[in-house]
């Protein structure tokens, strides 16, 4: 089984996710904080008792200085209301999460396809915690099915031997026919087809 391949891919995605958390997500919070800080600065400057307003009132600075600030304030408020930079930054994180899910699906499908490999249990141990239970149950079901196949295979030879004895007789009892058909249904389709030959014999009550 390709244990190292999946371990490497998972580790790479985990590292990419961690890097994204510490870089892009952190940067997005700084963008939001800068907008908030600038709005606080502008609001202070637009207070009636601010030095800017008093300078404009004294005709020391043009009114255009006020309009520029008001336009900047209105624009920043629109940006603040329209864009959530944390959510925008998380789009990239969601993409990494989707790739992680795809890797989980690929890993599970690969395990199911190669479940008879000798390293199946080692593969489970080296898989993410959230998948180990599902893989373990899958392996247990497979082992139970294989054990049942072995047990049923052991029944084929004695069944065929009993069937052959009945086919050598000139007729078949209803009870024997019913019993053999019931046994055949519990083994496999080949046994069922073989037991159907009993219908060719005369039936006794």
Spell out the per-residue pLDDT of the chain, length 205, in tens: 788 999 999 999 999 999 888 888 888 889 999 999 999 999 999 999 999 999 999 999 999 999 999 999 999 999 999 999 888 888 888 999 999 999 999 999 999 999 998 899 999 999 999 999 999 999 999 999 999 999 999 999 999 999 999 999 999 999 999 999 999 999 999 999 999 998 888 887 6
State residue 59 phi and psi, 5-degree precision.
Answer: 65, 25
Phi then psi for residue 14, to 5 deg, are: -60, -45
Asked if 159 and 187 count as a contact pair (C-beta separation under 8 A), the reply is: yes
Q: Which residues pair with 172 in a beta bridge?
A: 203
Q: Specify the 3-state DSSP secondary structure of 52.
A: helix
Report how far residue 6's alpha carbon sits from residue 109's, in angstroms, rounded to the nearest whole number. Answer: 12
| Of 173, 174, 194, 192, the residue nearest 183 (C-alpha) | 192
Bridge partners (DSSP) listed for residue 204: 173
């Amino acid at each position: 089984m390709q244990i190292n391949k999946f371990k490497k891919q998972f580790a790479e995605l985990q590292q990419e996710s961690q890097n994204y958390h510490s870089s892009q997500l952190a940067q997005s919070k700084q963008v939001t904080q800068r907008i908030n800080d600038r709005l606080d600065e502008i609001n202070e400057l637009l207070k009636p008792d601010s030095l800017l307003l008093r300078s404009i009132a004294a005709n020391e600075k043009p009114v255009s200085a006020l309009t520029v600030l008001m336009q900047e304030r209105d624009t920043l408020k629109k940006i603040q209301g329209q864009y959530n930079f944390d959510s925008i930054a998380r789009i990239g994180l969601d993409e990494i999460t989707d790739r992680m899910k795809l890797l989980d699906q690929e890993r599970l499908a690969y395990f199911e396809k190669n479940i008879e490999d000798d390293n199946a249990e080692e593969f489970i141990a080296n898989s993410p915690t959230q998948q180990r239970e599902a893989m373990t149950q899958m392996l247990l079901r497979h082992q139970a099915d294989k054990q049942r196949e072995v047990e049923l295979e052991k029944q084929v030879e004695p069944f065929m031997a009993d069937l052959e004895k009945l086919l050598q007789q000139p007729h078949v009892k209803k009870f024997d026919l019913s019993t053999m058909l019931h046994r055949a249904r519990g083994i496999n389709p080949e046994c069922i087809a073989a037991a159907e030959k009993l219908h060719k014999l005369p039936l006794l009550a």
